[in-house]
Amino acid sequence: MVLSDVWFIGKTSAAYGGVSFGFSLLGLILPGAFLVGNPLEVSGVSVEHITGHVMWGLAAGIASFSFRYAILSGLFPLILDFDHWIQFFGMDMIPRMAHSITFGFVAVGVMMMIFRRDLRLGAIAIAAVFSHMSFDIFLTGETKFPLFVPFATDMVTFGGNYWMLFEGLAVGIIFVASAIVLRRRKIRISG
């Protein structure tokens, strides 16, 4: 890995964290907000939780055919939990805002706008949401997400084998985007 890769990973991770945190701030003003509590007490933060999100993301990132994008695929699912920082302030909020389809689409748009329409980066931005949800379901057996927030703040429960569906979506999204990028590059080189 060269210095340019480290710089790219750092700046894209910081941008994704900013988007995640910014989107999560919406949870402070939406109806149905409540006091979630200290994340160290109520969110089950553990070594397994942290490493699991990274490993699940890395597994999906293999489909990018790129070392630096695979690393980002491992970091982004962990970065989604930046909403826990808001919990430390003891304010009413909607938890897990970045664990939503809406956030995934917002993240795709923002990341591709900031980073010159990088299709693989956009794919990883939304795939991280699915990979993160996949591991949460796998770890706990059943969990809830505000899937359509801010349009609906209802929590949707997933359990059982849904973790496989979500991880499969993450892999598929990254694979398709990477195949398109590599195909375009091949056409440019040969054309």
Q: What is the chain's pLDDT, residue by residue, as a tens digit (191 residues)?
A: 799 999 999 999 999 999 999 999 999 999 988 888 887 777 777 899 999 999 999 999 999 999 999 999 999 999 999 888 888 888 899 999 999 999 999 999 999 999 999 999 999 999 999 999 999 999 999 999 999 999 998 999 999 999 999 999 999 999 999 999 999 988 888 86
The pTM score is: 0.93
Report residue 142: phi and psi, to 5°: -165, 135
Per DSSP, 81 falls in state G
SS3 158: strand
Residues β-bridged to residue 35: 92
- State the DSSP string of 20-47: HHHHHHGGGTSTT-EE---HHHHS---H
CA distance 95 to 154: 11
Going from N- to C-terminal start, the domains of the chain cover 3-190
pLDDT at 191: 65
Residue whose entry in the numeric block shows the structure tokens 């491992």: 74
